[in-house]
Amino acid sequence: MLEVWGRKSSSNVQALMWAIDELGLAHNRYDAGLMHGVNDTPEYLAMNPNGTVPTLRDGDGEPLFESAAIIRYLANKYGKSPFWPDELSSRTQIDMWAEWSKLNIALKFTAPIFWLVVRTAPSQRNPQAIRNGLDVFEKNLGIAEARLVRHEYLVGDAFTSADILFGHVLYRYFDIDIERKSLPAVRTYYDRLTERPAYQDNVMVSYEELRVSD
């Protein structure tokens, strides 16, 4: 049985829980972080000295932190092709695009855009900073757009773990109140993700508890 610590509104927790559900793994999730606390307790810090979420324990195994590393662990242990192929070259392509997504999509969206729109009071928002963040983010989305014109998913025509690292931020990108660039292939891809029950249950969830108002 997997045990996961982290609040539902955390995008990193959402990515992990999406992966867990796609793999059909039994689990328990415990709220931790921000208003829930827990992540600053000695017991939690013994598992994850960073005090971040998520943290995962698989049975009697050592605790794991860093969402991308946890997803890679679960894919290696429980995943099957095409989600996580046996062939090294195919698996490395998926891992490469997953790493690209973490660095160029997730990190370029959460702090530079989402936090400036949702986690900042309206009177304190900096429209130019938001626009600058969007310019960088959407330039990277353009790389995905070129791939998604040719394939249904990021690495090819099958859903893989790379889609989790890429696709989990798209719900918020398309949901928040911003002016978005036209990226029709990315939009079609996102619409395809929204049909997946695991995406609906773990990613398309309220983030109102994160919103800051004047």
Question: pLDDT for 134-144, tens place per residue?
Answer: 999 999 999 99
Select from 107, 120, 105 the least CA-distant residue to 163: 105
> What value does the mean pLDDT of the chain take?
97
Long-range pairs for 139-144: beta carbons < 8 A, 24 or more residues apart: 140/104, 140/105, 140/108, 141/105, 141/181, 141/183, 141/186, 142/183, 143/104, 144/105, 144/185, 144/186, 144/189
Length of the chain: 214
Query: Looking at the predicted structure, is the pLDDT value of residue 158 above 90?
Result: yes
Q: What is the mean pLDDT of residues 112-140?
A: 97
* Distance separating alpha carbons of residues 116 and 105, to the nearest angstrom: 16
- Which two three-digit tokens encode residue 56? 């995962």
- pTM value > 0.85: yes
Note the Cα 84 to chain centre separation in Å. 17
Q: How confident is the model at residue 3 (pLDDT cuts 50, 70, 90)?
A: very high
Q: How confident is the model at residue 25 (pLDDT cuts 50, 70, 90)?
A: very high
Q: What is the mean pLDDT of residues 67-87?
A: 97
Note the Cα 187 to chain centre separation in Å. 17
pLDDT of residue 214: 83
pLDDT of residue 74: 98
Provide the 8-state DSSP code for 122. Answer: G
Provide the 8-state DSSP code for 177. Answer: S
Q: What is the mean pLDDT of residues 1-8?
A: 97
